[in-house]
Amino acid sequence: MIQFVQALISGLTLGSIYALIALGYTMVYGIAKMLNFAHGDIIMIGAYSVIVTAATVGMPPVFAVLISILVCAVLGVTIEFLAYRPLRQSPPLTVLITAIGVSYLLQNVALLIFGSEQMSTPMMFDIPDLTIGGITVDGITLLTLGVTAVIMIALTLFINKTKVGKAMRAVSEDKEAAELMGISVNKTITITFAIGSALAAVASIFFGATYVYIKPTTGSMPGIKAFTAAVFGGIGSIPGAMLGGILLGVIEKLSMTYISTLWSDAIVFGVLVLVLVVKPSGLLGKAQREKV
Amino acid sequence: MKKIVSLLLSAAMLLGCMVLLGSCGAKEEWPVDENGLTELFIGGIGPLTGDYANYGVSVRNGAQIAVDEINAANPEGILGFKLVYEAQDSKGDPDSATSAYGKLMDEGMKVSLGATLSGETAAVTAAAKEDGLLVLTPSGSAVSAIADSDKAFRICFSDPAQGKASADYIAEYGLATKVAVFYGSDNDYCVGLYNTFKDECAVKGIEIVMVQAFTTSTNTDFSTQIDAIAASGAELVFLPIYAAEASSFLTQSKGKLDGMKLFGCDGLDGLLTKIDDPATANGVLMLTPFAADASDAKTQNFVKLYKEKYNTTPDQFAADGYDAIYTIVEAMKQAGLNSKDVEDFNARIIAAMTKITVNGVTGSMTWTPDGEPTKVPMAMEYKDGAAVLFDPTK
Amino acid sequence: MAMKENVKKSFNAKAFFTTDVITLLAVVVLYIVIAVLVYTGSASRQISNMLISISCYIVLAVSLNLVVGLLGELSLGHAGFMSVGLFTGCTIAVLLTDKLPMAVSLPLCMIIGGLAAALVGLIVGLPALRLKGDYLAIVTLACGEIIKNIITNLDIDGTPLNGALGLDSSSIRHSATDLLPFAVVLVLLTMIVMMNFKKSKHGRAIMAVRDNRIAAEATGINVTYYKLLVFVVAAFFAGAAGVLYGHTLPNIKPATFDYNMSIEILVIVVLGGMGNIGGSIIAAIILRALPEALRDFSDYRMLVYSILLIGIMLLNENKAFKAWKSQFSLVGWVKKLLKKKQTAETDAPAEDIPAVDASADGKEETK
């Protein structure tokens, strides 16, 4: 029993990080209808930003967090403006490849600035661990879960209840019609990228706090896993991203504990394939009815 | 008009191709620099970008220091040669390493420092076999890296040798009878060490009570593996992994593996520069031929030069690169080669490799005909931010 | 003059020199030039060492183009098919080393490896019947990772398979000069099959499925059959390319064939243009050669590469650039040449040529 609970808790720790990253992924996908492959690398930049401000310059944690969010938001908007906006009318695959190019670019810029040696994120918050009946849950895990849930709810409310959110849904539905209704598509997508990248910064802070070490390629694997999680939950669906992320983490850890650490990759991806074959639009995704 | 443009363009492209293709023939056999010294071109290949860049950069820096040091100490040339060293990037990809080797050959490479990682070294070794060139890899440690050629040698220990040596060391000093293993199941270094460690444990009567693995796609969170090892009742955890993963393992296992000894190999080298808090590494044992804080003059000189130039402590990869350059010089001396007498250069330098003894920063080395170095590993222990010689009798 | 006209009647150059034939001829000419340079020893080592790997990437890209361009589905698991072919075919090749000469064993193993990959392609194709878009993309990515995981743990005594330590292919490794003829044949064969496949009944049916699945189904096209067919054919060629690739290195690690490699192949396909075989070939050469050409930038090499990649993608979508680029189209140029010759020599009006010319660049993008 203790073994099971332990595995569940480490699954939640990992899963909540996946979920947090997947939220940004799915948000950008849902509105701009593009896979931002560079999302994972924006997280890496956010993590380096925290290291520079908090460890090297020595700023208080609150400022470090705020600056990281600002850096990522500005970076996201800049990338959108320079690389994705000129491709607004292009086929989605062209945009995807450009996003991969941006991902390479960010990794190599980080490699040149920070070097290939890993750096460690400074301890910023000291949250007491929670111990119940011999089982310890890291404080940071609880905080990550809480923050992810809050962000999920806030995002859902933002998109469904505010005016900007309404504009986003309109842009997502039909760009041209939205433009005709007086919505600035460019402005709306810029806001989407700003929020998505700010979420990447938040993810980077929790990633750094949980796993400490950062190097230029840190973002790519969590990025792919989060993309998987977002699709698992139904891409474009915000609660789906959270569910997908957490489930992915839990399945990964349970398979490691009970089956084999050698086969965990195959098992995780195998489960994913099975679920998608049964539910072709993800766990919470809307089934697209085909028009005749 | 358009036709003319396209004709012109194709002509220009063809011309460009010709220049590109033809440029190789122009290289002099043994170029001479402005001071009249014959240049000896040594080429290295390794990942200078991408996930493994730190290893490639370390080897390059280490080799560069040796080259600069030798050239500065011998203004008249070492054996009449000026050493020229160039490192090419491979991203860790054997394919890219093969074309990088081609590029270095086009530039007139005389001795190849193989490549940094095992897979790419194997590719370079195979390509160099046809050219008859000496390949001296600083760090390609898998058996397959040099197995296929009698012209290839290495500075580092082979993976199986380390796995065996580790089990022998643990048995000889009675460090543990029950061990757990934590390794990367898709990494050839880790698997190479683990396979022979497992076999040797069976011979020496050490019981492996728990084996936990990770892969490149699950290398951030080790909590389940740590929990399993903690519950296994092992006395020692064998860590045939690299320092990057080891630092994550140590940070995440803080307070969970109390009473268990942690034992790794040369992959753990450089742990202190990677880990967030050096105290976390306290008590970790490591079987390695190189220790940056060893007290001998040679090591201290190398570490001082390295720190001055690159602002960081050298790791074993850098030390291997440094020793490789000195080994080449030693082999040339043994073979009686100098700038006036370069006839049969390749055959003579290769023949000399098995006859020399090199006292490098990674220990005193001789080579067997199949390219393996013979040297003695030291057991080091991390203590309060430094690696010190471990005394097993205490 | 009279003689020429006679020849003209039996040999209609305009009909003969289709886009496909011109592309094929261009590749043949390119390979002849390369072969002359390589075998006379005047090609640089850097270039000759890349030839086989570039040829493999051409085959990979052309075959992936079948899935992405023709069927219109995103696949991120092509490297997985390649590794299935490679590890099956090369294992057999190693076991056959002393029993068969290379000229027999290599083509034989390419077929075996291709068939093995095709079988896996069939299995991976099954979910494709229910899924599409990003969901299918993630399933192909997942299948690629599963394949990688399985091969990594495949350590069988008595075979050259050593799990994570890699396949010991040192006994079947051959230099670029030995492998070049096989590479040429494989590339040309892949091109011919793909070109004919595209024009055949099957190809048209597949494009119909891509453009409107329901309408295609209503006209009696067996969607299940065609979707699976695409995955099987694409996987077959990826597997065959894998076997060739396996002959270039002395040791092959399963970890090499991860999603990053699949993405690399996808980049080639998209840059070359969806469904455009000639484009895939040019893009494969450019993208594989570019990092090598950038070696002089040393540490900045991959930075420059990524900037160029973004730049090329942006430029490729630029209307003015598209127009400028199309005037250098080889296909367009040959056709124009033929047209001029024809109007000069015969009085027959060249009615269909302008239409062909407009799309001379061969862009057949899916919207």
Q: Mark which of B288, B311, B337 sits at the end of a domain.
A: B288
Instruction: Classify residue C59: in a domain, yes or no.
Output: yes
Q: Where are the alpha helices (DSSP H) in B242-394?
A: 243-252, 271-274, 297-310, 316-335, 345-353
Tell me which chain A residue has its CA closest to the CA of residue B274: A118
Contact C166 B188 (CB under 8 A): yes
pLDDT of C10:
60
Same domain, residue pair B310 and B371: yes
How far apart, in whole angstroms, are the C-alpha atoms of residue C174 and residue C183?
12
- Give me the CATH number covering residue B103: 3.40.50.2300
Chain A nearest-CA distance from C130, in A, is 6
Instruction: Classify residue C10: in a domain, yes or no.
Output: no
Q: Which of residues 119-158 of B touch C (CB under 8 A)?
A: 119, 122-123, 125-127, 130, 142, 144-145, 147-148
- Give the mean pLDDT of A123-141: 81
Q: Which residues of A touch C318 (CB under 8 A)?
A: 86
Q: Which of residues 338-367 of B touch A (CB under 8 A)?
A: none
Domain of residue C54, residue span = 50-277
Same domain, residue pair B198 and B272: yes
% of chain A with per-residue pLDDT over 70: 98
**Residue pair B362/B375 in contact by the 8 Å Cβ criterion:** yes
Domain of residue B96, residue span = 38-157+296-376
Same domain, residue pair B190 and B278: yes
Contact C317 A273 (CB under 8 A): no
Tell me which chain A residue has its CA closest to the CA of residue C215: A292
What's the number of domains chain B is made of?
2
Chain C nearest-CA distance from B22, in A, is 6
Most confident of the ranges A134-148, B100-114, C350-364: B100-114
- Give the mean pLDDT of B124-146: 92
Instruction: Classify residue C308: in a domain, yes or no.
Output: no
Instruction: Classify residue C306: in a domain, yes or no.
Output: no
Q: Does C47 touch chain B (CB under 8 A)?
A: yes
Q: Which of residues 158-217 of B touch A (CB under 8 A)?
A: 185, 212-217
Backbone phi, psi, residue C301, to 5°: -55, -55
Instruction: Classify residue B120: in a domain, yes or no.
Output: yes
What's the number of domains chain C is made of?
1
Instruction: Classify residue B12: in a domain, yes or no.
Output: no
Contact C138 A276 (CB under 8 A): yes
Q: How far, in whole angstroms, is CA C108 from its chain's centroid? A: 20
Partner residue facing C270 (CB), from A89, A94, A112: A94
Backbone phi, psi, residue B42, to 5°: -105, 125
Contact C249 B215 (CB under 8 A): no
Confidence of residue B44 (pLDDT cuts 50, 70, 90): very high
Same domain, residue pair B241 and B273: yes
Contact C302 B50 (CB under 8 A): yes
pLDDT of B334:
94
- Identify from C31, C49, C156, C334 which residue to disrupt to test chain B contact, counting B C-beta atoms within 10 A and taking the largest count: C49
Q: Which residues of C touch B22 (CB under 8 A)?
A: 42
Tell me which chain A residue has its CA closest to the CA of residue C301: A108
∠ at Cα C274 (C273, C278), nearest 5°? 55
Distances (CA, A) of C28 to B10, C22, C335: 17, 10, 18
Q: Which residues of C touch A104 (CB under 8 A)?
A: 302, 305-306, 309
**Residue pair B62/B113 in contact by the 8 Å Cβ criterion:** no
Structural domains for chain A: 2-278 (1.10.3470)
**Residue pair C357/C22 in contact by the 8 Å Cβ criterion:** no
pLDDT over threshold 70, residue B10 = no
Instruction: Classify residue C332: in a domain, yes or no.
Output: no
Partner residue facing B126 (CB), from C43, C46, C170: C170
Same domain, residue pair B147 and B170: no
Partner residue facing C327 (CB), from B5, B20, B102: B5
- Identify from B2, B15, B21, B107 which residue to disrupt to test chain C contact, counting C C-beta atoms within 10 A and taking the largest count: B21
Contact A277 C310 (CB under 8 A): no
Tell me which chain B residue has its CA closest to the CA of residue C305: B49
Contact B224 A10 (CB under 8 A): yes
Strand intervals (E) in B47-186: 81-89, 111-115, 134-137, 152-154, 178-184
* Neighbour-count burial for C81-94, b at 16+ CB within 10 Å, e otherwise: bbbbbbbbbbbbbb
pLDDT over threshold 80, residue B9 = no
**Residue pair C202/C226 in contact by the 8 Å Cβ criterion:** yes
Token pair for B344: 């049969």
Q: Tokens 């992405």 appear where?
A: C68
Least confident of A79-83, B13-17, C161-165, C268-272: B13-17
pLDDT of C359:
34
Conformation bin of residue B265: beta by default, left when phi > 0, alpha when psi is -120 to 50: beta
Token pair for B394: 């205490």
Q: Does A7 touch chain B (CB under 8 A)?
A: yes
Instruction: Classify residue B79: in a domain, yes or no.
Output: yes
Strand intervals (E) in C209-312: 251-252
Chain B nearest-CA distance from C285, in A, is 13
Partner residue facing C250 (CB), from B22, B101, B123: B123
Count of CB atoms within 10 A of residue A126's CB? 7
**Sign of the CA dihedral running B279, B280, B286, B289:** negative
Contact A116 B216 (CB under 8 A): no
**Residue pair B45/B122 in contact by the 8 Å Cβ criterion:** no
Which strand (E) or helix (H) includes residue A243?
A: helix A238-258
Taking all residues of chain B, what is their mean pLDDT, rounded to a whole number?
88
Same domain, residue pair B152 and B167: no
Tell me which chain B residue has its CA closest to the CA of residue A217: B51
Contact A120 B276 (CB under 8 A): yes
Q: Which residues of C touch B119 (CB under 8 A)?
A: 166, 251, 253, 256
pLDDT tens, residue order, chain C (367 aa): 444 555 445 667 777 778 888 889 999 999 999 999 888 888 888 888 899 999 999 999 999 999 999 999 999 999 999 999 999 999 999 999 888 898 999 999 999 999 999 999 999 988 878 888 888 888 999 999 999 999 999 988 888 898 899 999 989 999 888 999 999 999 999 999 999 999 999 999 999 999 988 899 899 999 999 999 999 999 999 999 999 999 999 999 999 999 999 999 999 999 998 889 999 999 999 999 998 888 888 788 889 999 999 998 898 888 888 788 777 777 777 877 877 776 765 554 443 333 333 333 333 333 3
Contact C170 B23 (CB under 8 A): no
Question: Minimal CA–CA distance to A117: which of B64, B303, B312, B380?
Answer: B312
Same domain, residue pair B203 and B138: no
Least confident of A131-135, A140-144, C115-119, C354-358: C354-358
pLDDT of A133:
75
Partner residue facing A261 (CB), from B214, B217, B276: B214
How far apart, in whole angstroms, are the C-alpha atoms of residue B314 and residue B270?
8
∠ at Cα C28 (C22, C31), nearest 5°? 140
Query: Do the strands C251-252 and C167-168 form a parallel or antiparallel pair, or are they unpaired?
Result: antiparallel
Chain B nearest-CA distance from C141, in A, is 13
pLDDT of B94:
92
Instruction: Classify residue B4: in a domain, yes or no.
Output: no
- Give the mean pLDDT of B143-147: 91
Q: Which of residues 98-127 of A touch B (CB under 8 A)?
A: 108, 111, 115-118, 120-121
Chain A nearest-CA distance from C285, in A, is 17
Distances (CA, A) of C13 to A212, C17, C357: 68, 6, 16
Confidence of residue B28 (pLDDT cuts 50, 70, 90): low
Q: Does B53 touch chain C (CB under 8 A)?
A: no
∠ at Cα C69 (C64, C73), nearest 5°? 80
**Residue pair B178/B192 in contact by the 8 Å Cβ criterion:** no
Confidence of residue B347 (pLDDT cuts 50, 70, 90): very high
Q: Does A281 touch chain B (CB under 8 A)?
A: no
Instruction: Classify residue B30: in a domain, yes or no.
Output: no
Taking all residues of chain A, what is their mean pLDDT, rounded to a whole number?
90
**Residue pair B359/B298 in contact by the 8 Å Cβ criterion:** yes
Contact C42 B101 (CB under 8 A): no
Distances (CA, A) of C364 to C74, C167, C198, C277: 16, 40, 12, 10
Conformation bin of residue A289: beta by default, left when phi > 0, alpha when psi is -120 to 50: beta
Strand intervals (E) in B68-185: 81-89, 111-115, 134-137, 152-154, 178-184
Give the model confidence (pLDDT) of A3-21 as tens digits: 898 899 889 989 999 999 9
Instruction: Classify residue C250: in a domain, yes or no.
Output: yes
- Identify from C313, C315, C318, C363 which residue to disrupt to test chain A contact, counting A C-beta atoms within 10 A and taking the largest count: C313
Q: Does A224 touch chain C (CB under 8 A)?
A: yes
* Neighbour-count burial for A193-222, b at 16+ CB within 10 Å, e otherwise: bbbbbbbbbbbbbbbbbbbbbbbbbbbbbb
Strand intervals (E) in chain A: 119-120, 130-132, 135-137, 213-214
How far apart, in whole angstroms, are the C-alpha atoms of residue A38 and residue C311?
16
Instruction: Classify residue B394: in a domain, yes or no.
Output: no
Q: Does B51 touch chain C (CB under 8 A)?
A: no
Instruction: Classify residue B250: in a domain, yes or no.
Output: yes
Contact C295 B94 (CB under 8 A): no
Q: Does B156 touch chain A (CB under 8 A)?
A: no
In chain B, what's the furthest Cα-to-Cα distance?
Answer: 89
pLDDT of A289:
63
Q: Does A212 touch chain B (CB under 8 A)?
A: yes
Count of CB atoms within 10 A of residue B297's CB? 8
Q: Does B368 touch chain A (CB under 8 A)?
A: no
Q: Does B312 touch chain C (CB under 8 A)?
A: no
ipTM, two decimals: 0.91
How far apart, in whole angstroms, are the C-alpha atoms of residue B375 and residue B369?
15
Instruction: Classify residue B18: in a domain, yes or no.
Output: no
In DSSP terms, B154 is beta-bridged to B137
